[in-house]
Structure 1
Amino acid sequence: MAVSSPDSPQEYIRHHLHNLQIGEGFWTLNIDSLFFSILLGVIFLFIFHRVARRATSGVPGKLQCAVELIFGFVDSTVKDMFSGQNKLIAPLALTVFMWVFLMNLMDLIPVDFLPYAAQQAGIPYLRVVPTADVSITMSMSLGVFLLIIIYTFKYKGVKGFIKEYTLHPFNHWAFAPINFVLEMVSLLAKPISLGLRLFGNMYAGELIFILIAALIPWWSQWILSLPWAIFHILIITLQAFIFMVLTIVYLSMASATEDH
């Protein structure tokens, strides 16, 4: 069922790609993206907290078994990639993986289901995939960027921080200005590529679902939607894993204390 019976496929696509917003200019907020990202974060915390409180040493239930498998997978990944000792990395990696995965998973909901229900409630626009919104993915990557700076200061100190960005790749003070420019480009490229990679993949997946719904009659949409949804499950999981792995790698690089 198409939302508000659009006059053309172009109008239909434009409608689905429009966020519910408040504010103007730089201070514009995408309310739908914020709502679903916060809601999914709360759901993740609730489920994992409940399983942890009710965990038993006997035969685990299906939900506890699933949580333990995810926890073991993330824990082994962190041990393989993070060389330092830090109690925050594993919980952070688990949070990043599950939060991004759940936000990506919203892409499997039929494109007209929630927007149509919202329209019946008087809400004109609704996008339900937070990671298809560049403001969400870049905000998350900005958080990783701040952690990189914090970890560099924490493990290397002020002197080590200065050396980190002035003595690489050329280990001589005469090349400090050149090193600083090169390292700043590399440093800024990390959060930008991290956020845009996730956004690009999820935006493309969302757009394909919208195109299928816009160009094919509703009774035959499943012919293309179902195969794409099955393949998209791999993309959803892979993008969550990549975001988690790169976060661990960047923080591991920031905490490395090799001699300069």
Structure 2
Amino acid sequence: MDFNNINNSKEYILHHLHHLQLNLNTFKIVNFHDIKNTFWIINIDSIAISFLLGSIFLIIFYIGSKSFDNENPKNLQIFIEIIITFIESNIKDMFKKKNELIAPLSLTVFTWIFLMNCMDLIPVDLFPLISQYELKLPFLRIVPTADINITLSMSLGIFFLVLFYNIKNKGLFYFLKELTTKPFSHPIFYIFNLMLECISLLSQPISLGLRLFGNMYAGEIIFILISGLIPWWLQWTISLPWAILHILVITLQAFIYMVLTIVYLSQTCKKN
């Protein structure tokens, strides 16, 4: 769809809510009026921007590590140290066991999600217009965490780590014993316990992904509604206060995701 052919607010909103999607069967860009087989459709924009922001995160922290100086720390080094100290303090409060993965994983989760959330603060028309007129792309959504595929994919990664460390730390037999003997120890309740524990385990990645997606999608919707329904000369009166509030939201969502990741992994440690 061309921006020039958007005749009403509904078309404008639908345009901004449509991903740059590729149908793997036909290798053609999918129009939002013609979505039939969603299983073989991937959101190119969410994947590309996620990798781009992940690369930016790695590059910034790599440069910071190479310029490390205890005697005369630079601004970038101070900024990185603040983030690392903040994350380490949270890990010490919630994760009592020693694990070489938990610190870098928490740092990656918090920083990467924060960068993806920050894309929601960019004006909604800026990158879609650039992509259309410079790159000839019909659609573009730049907030990866407003895509449920991205948030659930990340939470599934955490879920597999939870399963792996449950088996590694407790042993397969003890892990299965936990699933079948809690909360009721009588053998007659083993099947019931297993059903409850499986539901509890599966709820972790689902709630983790849906919470982040729901909050970021709602924030994106509000920005699009402000841009699509309010005259341009009045938009700043609402979009500016909402953007200021949204700075707190995007930081809080990254923090909550990190904290829940630490909590879920801390539950994999075998109790003495």
TM beyond 0.5: yes
What is the TM-score normalised by the length of structure 1? 0.96
Structure 1 unaligned blocks of 5 or more: none
Kindly indicate whether residue 48 of structure 2 is the aligned counterpart of residue 35 of structure 1. Answer: yes
Partner of 2:21: 21
> 1:83-134 CA deviation, whole Å, 9 max, x = no partner?
2110110000000000000000000000000000001021000000000000
Secondary structure of the residue aligned to 1:25 is coil
Partner of 1:104: 117
Kindly indicate whether residue 21 of structure 2 is the aligned counterpart of residue 8 of structure 1. Answer: no
Structure 2 unaligned blocks of 5 or more: 24-36
Residue type of the partner of 1:36? I
Residue type of the partner of 1:88? L
Counterparts of 1:1-260 in structure 2, within 5 Å, are: 3-4=3-4, 6-23=6-23, 24-120=37-133, 121-255=135-269, 257-258=270-271
Residue type of the partner of 2:138? P
Q: Which has the higher contact order (CA 8 A, sep 6+)?
A: 1
> How far apart in 2 are the matches of 1:63 and 1:22?
38
In the TM superposition, residue 34 of structure 1 has moved relative to its aligned partner by 0.2
- Percent of counterpart pairs with the same letter? 57
Secondary structure of the residue aligned to 1:22 is strand
Task: Please say if residues 3 and 112 of structure 1, whose CA atoms lie closer than 8 Å, have aligned partners that are also in contact.
Answer: no
CA RMSD between the two structures: 1.2
Secondary structure of the residue aligned to 2:69 is coil
Task: Please say if residues 16 and 126 of structure 1, whose CA atoms lie closer than 8 Å, have aligned partners that are also in contact.
Answer: yes
> How far apart in 2 are the matches of 1:208 and 1:3?
20
In the TM superposition, residue 168 of structure 1 has moved relative to its aligned partner by 1.0
What is the TM-score normalised by the length of structure 2? 0.92
Instruction: Count matched residues.
Output: 257
> How far apart in 1 are the matches of 2:220 and 2:158?
25
Residue type of the partner of 1:238? L
Q: Are residues 4 and 60 of structure 1, via their aligned partners in 2, closer, same or farther at CA, if it must alter by over 3 Å?
A: farther
> How far apart in 2 are the matches of 1:187 and 1:200?
20
Secondary structure of the residue aligned to 2:4 is coil
Residue type of the partner of 2:51? I
> How far apart in 1 are the matches of 2:68 and 2:143?
31
In the TM superposition, residue 5 of structure 1 has moved relative to its aligned partner by 5.3
Structure having the higher helix fraction is: 1
- More displaced stretch, 215-224 vs 90-99: 215-224
